[in-house]
Amino acid sequence: DSGVTQTPKHLITATGQRVTLRCSPRSGDLSVYWYQQSLDQGLQFLIQYYNGEERAKGNILERFSAQQFPDLHSELNLSSLELGDSALYFCASSLYSQAGELFFGEGSRLTVL
């Protein structure tokens, strides 16, 4: 158990809809990262927050947004969903803002029909 909690574990929705994925980082960790894992794109970095502030941005679509709240949990919002957004979305956390040692949650599997 990494200590990172993600909900929901599975989500099925329709194209055009909006969903919110939630992540609670490991106790004491200030950084939260979001990654998308799909079969054809591998593991893609989306965005990182550190202590409530956006720290780094990767290949995140404009239809996607995220935030980190004062209690350090984070939410990833995906809107106007397309079939190609079907993937496993991972949250990871670390203590520092610049770190390679990340602790990953078990992921939220999103299926868009």
Partner 1 sequence: GEDVEQSLFLSVREGDSSVINCTYTDSSSTYLYWYKQEPGAGLQLLTYIFSNMDMKQDQRLTVLLNKKDKHLSLRIADTQTGDSAIYFCAEFLMDSSYKLIFGSGTRLLVRP
- Residues of this chain that interact with partner 1 (CB under 8 A) are 2, 4, 33, 35, 42-43, 45, 48, 55-56, 58, 90, 92, 97-107
CB-wise, 28 or 100, nearer to partner 1?
Answer: 100
Per-position DSSP letters for 10-46, written without gaps between them:
EEEE-TT--EEEEEEPPTT--EEEEEEEETTTEEEEE
CB-wise, 35 or 64, nearer to partner 1?
Answer: 35
CB-wise, 17 or 59, nearer to partner 1?
Answer: 59
Q: How far apart are CA 99 and CA 42, in angstroms?
A: 21
Smallest distance, partner 1 to C-beta of residue 61, A: 17
